[in-house]
């Protein structure tokens, strides 16, 4: 079952980029941080869309892996991917980007991880899909591609060209 089609996805990404610019004109004092591994596919595209609107050097972009900040090490081992934040976030607005906001635990870990790099003045959150009814922590997005209003028994699978040959979001039966 399709949640966001291949035709819809580019418009949503463009809209998210515009909403970010509307809130933070020219990305003044703001930086973009994509969450590894799967949020980066989205942040790459949003950054590309932002660079069409403002000059490339105004877009400060990094990637953050939150594996070492998770709260479930005794249950499951996750493998870390590269963190690449070659700039200071001290006093900046950090716009976190991830693909699906589900329980909120990943973002909780990301907030923790960010503090290891400095003290941002503000952190804001942009997600492609917000599974609102499944939240386990008081965390909400500021920019949302698509909000799911009802509790869903399905798994939200975001597919990207790099991995799956297609850009879309589908609902899958949990195996």
Partner 1 sequence: MALTTKHLLGIKDLTTEDIQLILSTATQFKEVLQRPVKKVPTLRDITIVNLFYENSTRTRISFELAEKRLSADVVNFTVSNSSAAKGETLLDTVNNILSMKVDMVVMRHSASGAPHYLAKHIDAAIINAGDGINEHPTQALLDAFSMKEKLGKLQGLKVAIIGDIMHSRVALSNIYLLKKMGAEVMVSGPPTLIPTYLKEAMGIQIEYNIDKALAWCDVANVLRIQLERQNQPLFSSLREYNLAYGITQNRLQKLTKEIVIMHPGPINRGVELDSDVADSPHSIILDQVENGVAVRMACLYLLTGRTQPTT
Rounded to an integer, what distance in angstroms lies between the CA atom of residue 105 and that of residue 107? 5
Q: Which residue from 82, 103, 121, 163 is in contact with partner 1, where contact means CB under 8 A?
A: 82
Q: Evaluate whether 100 touches 79 at the Cβ level (below 8 Å).
A: no
Q: Which residue from 52, 57, 79, 151 is in contact with partner 1, where contact means CB under 8 A?
A: 79
Closer residue to partner 1, CB minimum distance, 45 or 63: 63
Q: Which residue from 24, 87, 117, 154 is in contact with partner 1, where contact means CB under 8 A?
A: 117
Distance in Å, CB of 37 to partner 1, minimum: 12
Q: Could you give the maximum distance between any two Cα atoms of the chain, in Å?
A: 45
Residue 116 found at the interface with partner 1 (CB under 8 A): yes
Residue 76 found at the interface with partner 1 (CB under 8 A): yes
Length of the chain: 175
Closer residue to partner 1, CB minimum distance, 115 or 166: 115
Q: Which two tokens stand for residue 65?
A: 């892996």
Helix boundaries (H) for the chain: 8-23, 39-53, 105-115, 161-164
Residue 115 found at the interface with partner 1 (CB under 8 A): yes
Sign of CA dihedral 88, 95, 156, 4: negative
Q: Which residues bind partner 1 (CB under 8 A)?
A: 65, 67-70, 73-77, 79-83, 112-113, 115-118
């Amino acid at each position: 079952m399709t949640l966001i089609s291949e035709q819809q996805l580019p418009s949503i990404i463009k809209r998210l980029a515009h909403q970010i610019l509307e809130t933070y004109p020219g990305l003044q004092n703001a930086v973009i941080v994509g969450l590894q591994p799967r949020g980066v596919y989205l942040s790459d595209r949003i950054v590309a869309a932002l660079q069409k609107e403002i000059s490339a050097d105004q877009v400060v972009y990094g990637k953050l892996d939150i594996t070492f900040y998770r709260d479930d090490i005794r249950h499951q081992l996750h493998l870390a991917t590269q963190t690449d934040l070659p700039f200071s976030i001290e006093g900046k607005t950090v716009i976190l980007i991830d693909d699906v906001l589900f329980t909120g635990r990943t973002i909780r870990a990301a907030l923790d991880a960010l503090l290891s790099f400095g003290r941002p003045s503000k952190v804001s959150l942009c997600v492609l899909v917000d599974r609102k009814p499944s939240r386990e922590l008081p965390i909400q997005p500021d920019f949302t591609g698509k909000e799911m209003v009802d509790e869903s028994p399905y798994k939200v699978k975001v597919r990207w060209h790099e991995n799956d040959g297609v850009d879309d979001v589908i609902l899958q039966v949990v195996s």
